[in-house]
Amino acid sequence: MARPDDLLSNGPQAERLHKFAHDLRNRLAGMHQVLQHLAAGAVDPEQKQLVEFGEQQQFKALREVEQLLDDMGVVRHMHTLPCTAVLLAPLVERVVQGLRHRFDRKQQTVLVDLPEGLHVLGHADQLFELLNALLSNASKFSAAGASVTVNAQHHGTTVSLQVMDTGVGLSPADLDQVFVRYAWLSSRTTAGEAQGRSTLARARQWARAMGGDLLAESAGPGAGSTFTLVLRHPALP
């Protein structure tokens, strides 16, 4: 009987697992679109409960696929990204404007406080996607009329950028799982938005591929959340 280690070194086997996982995720994504459509028209509490149960089962299936790939040792980590000096303020502004429709729909305010001329070492495209994920997440899990704050500090060789919200918060158990792809957490979006629980896992991957990290804090349910992106500061002349 083949040992897991034997399967690790089998390139064709790993490629087959990749393809299987990709195809299965696509089918589950199609099911999720159906659930979202049903959720939009659900007014009866029992209907809403059924939709949530369906979404939970979909997430569990996706999580089990991820766990299978991990158990089989299929390498899926992102390679190190080529980084250059990126000016933070205009990039954050571009992300905020791209999400303006979301914030306006929920009458939310975004407060940005960034030091002038602050740069980080990053990959501009992936950094945009990462910040987009953090701000989108803050909006989804905050109530209408809430505020989201973005600030940054330069500490020697690193820069810490924080996205803080006053939303639903995270329990200690949720904090342990918030960066686990497709984990089913107890917190819920405030206006029926999709949970998107794989996005934060990818965001941490992007941060680490740029030589940094992504951290989460929360004082508990109802107390909001803070996500801190730590990146290197470039040696600028």
The residue among 27 and 9 whose pLDDT is bigger is 27
pLDDT for position 66: 74
Q: Calculate mean pLDDT across residues 37-52.
A: 75
The residue among 161 and 180 whose pLDDT is bigger is 161
**For residue 202, with 0-12 CB atoms within 10 Å meaning exposed, 13-18 middle and 19 or more buried, which class applies?**
middle
Q: Calculate mean pLDDT across residues 91-109.
A: 97
Q: Calculate mean pLDDT across residues 170-177.
A: 94
Q: Calculate mean pLDDT across residues 62-91.
A: 81
Residue spans per domain, the chain: 4-71, 84-232
Q: Calculate mean pLDDT across residues 121-145.
A: 95
Q: Calculate mean pLDDT across residues 212-229.
A: 97
Rg of the chain on CA atoms, in Å? 19
What DSSP line would sit under 161-228, residue for residue?
A: EEEEE-SS---HHHHHHTTSTT---S---SSS----TTHHHHHHHHHHHTT-EEEEE-SSTTS-EEEE
pLDDT for position 31: 74
pLDDT for position 32: 67
Mean pLDDT of the chain: 85
Judge: domain 84-232, CATH 3.30.565.10: yes
